[in-house]
Structure 1
Amino acid sequence: MINDPEGTVLALFAAFCRIGGCVMIMPGFSAARVPMQVRLFIAVALSMAILPIMWTDIYPQVTGKDHTYIYLIATETVVGAVIGLVARYYVLGLQFAGTAMTMLIGFSPPPTADVLEDTAENQLTSMISFTGLLILFMLDFHHVIFEAIAQSYRVMPIVVGFDAHGMLITLTDSLGQTFMIMLRLASPFLIYGLLFNVAIGMVNKLAPQIPIYFISQPYLIMGGMFLLYLGIAAMLRLFADGFGPVMQGG
């Protein structure tokens, strides 16, 4: 029997604000192909599941003090959004690396509709980003995010409110780690594109009458595709291995 219905509803709504802010932004759940009602039901179900576990961290803070509930709603939503942004930055980093790789290997066909979003994207970039997200789901990355939300009630309690300085440090550290990981993933293609174009430029200087760039383009794409065939398994494995440290660092 619930002795305090009003306090229980307020605690549930406070949990929903933090979890809903995360689900609203985190990769996969926030895709344009996922209906808004599905995202809402997922956030409500997660809030009802996490409330009994974190009852001692949520209920006393919501009912024990005279809060301004508008401020409470805003701060809890921002905290959840920051947790979701850490994961989203990591997935967007793979999309950025895929775009850089397609440019370096000269594969630039007209963009088509993205698999996840409503924007136009290169086919190779769309395949790489979708495959990386699928691997994260296979490895239950959403469990890591939900655990981070549960732990955030001890790191950033409700009574503390919005810590803008700490959240900005979290986001910048996550961006820094993501950039280094994605640079490591795209480094073979960066070296390949640089060496190939330097070599073709030197050949063009030796024989300026020959349209060497038009002749070399198929070889650039063929070599880049072969390099992608050899290294995509290791690239995606490194991408999956780097998600945990980024979330823990965030």
Structure 2
Amino acid sequence: MPILNWEIEQLQSVMLIFTRMTAIFLTAPVLNTRRVPLHTKIGLSLMVALILGPIIQMTSAMPKETLPFAALVFKEAVVGLSIGFIANMIFAAVQMAGEIADMQSGFAFARLVDPHTGQRISVIGQFQIMMASLIFLGVDGHHILFSGLLDSYRVMPLG
């Protein structure tokens, strides 16, 4: 289905999908770092939204007025941010475990600047975050995250 032949409801649907995807990609593990440029995250979100646009169906009619549509955009952003933050909680727990291990072993004052976030992070915490990222990618965690994104439209459909 060419994009030029889409109706306004289909474009609104793609915009809602794009909103959720952008919110997820801004907060999801491995993608929420400074090493992944913002343009890349937005481009990936747009690509996924264009792919999922014809697949995902609206559960109700798309609102014609601006305010109800803005409320739907806000809802999709909140859902996307929630999914991304929940997925990122595991990495935060790993980082906290590294912080505690640093304090217990006497490395509390030896802190590095994390190139991903720009924050000061403990030595063991930095090592554990890098290992957790490698394990996440090694066990196809990004595939699980993408399948969870598709499942999110079954649990919290558009509209």
TM-score greater than 0.5 by the shorter chain:
yes
Distance 1:66 1:7 in 2: 9
Distance 2:61 2:133 in 1: 36
Indicate the structure with greater helix content. 1
**Corresponding residue of 2:153:** 153
Distance 2:29 2:13 in 1: 26
Q: Is the 8 A contact 1:116 1:130 kept in 2?
A: no
Please report how far the alpha carbon of residue 32 of structure 1 lies from its aligned counterpart in structure 2 after TM superposition: 1.7
From 39, 42, 50, the equivalent of 1:40 is 42
Please give the secondary structure, in 1, of the residue aligned with 2:60.
helix
Structure 2: any 5+ residue segments left out of the alignment? none
Q: Is the 8 A contact 1:10 1:62 kept in 2?
A: no
TM-score (norm 2): 0.87
Distance 2:137 2:33 in 1: 14
Distance 1:62 1:74 in 2: 17
Please report how far the alpha carbon of residue 62 of structure 1 lies from its aligned counterpart in structure 2 after TM superposition: 5.3
Structure 1: any 5+ residue segments left out of the alignment? 160-250
Q: Sequence identity, in percent?
A: 24
Number of residues paired by the alignment? Answer: 155
**Corresponding residue of 2:102:** 102
Question: Of the two, which has the highest radius of gyration?
Answer: 1
Q: Which has the higher contact order (CA 8 A, sep 6+)?
A: 2
**1:60-71 alignment to 2 at 5 Å?**
61=60, 63=62, 65-66=63-64, 68-71=68-71
Letter in 2 for 1:26: A
Please report how far the alpha carbon of residue 123 of structure 1 lies from its aligned counterpart in structure 2 after TM superposition: 1.8
Please say if 1:121 is aligned against 2:121. yes
Calculate the aligned-residue CA RMSD, in Å: 1.9
Q: Is the 8 A contact 1:115 1:130 kept in 2?
A: no
TM-score (norm 1): 0.57
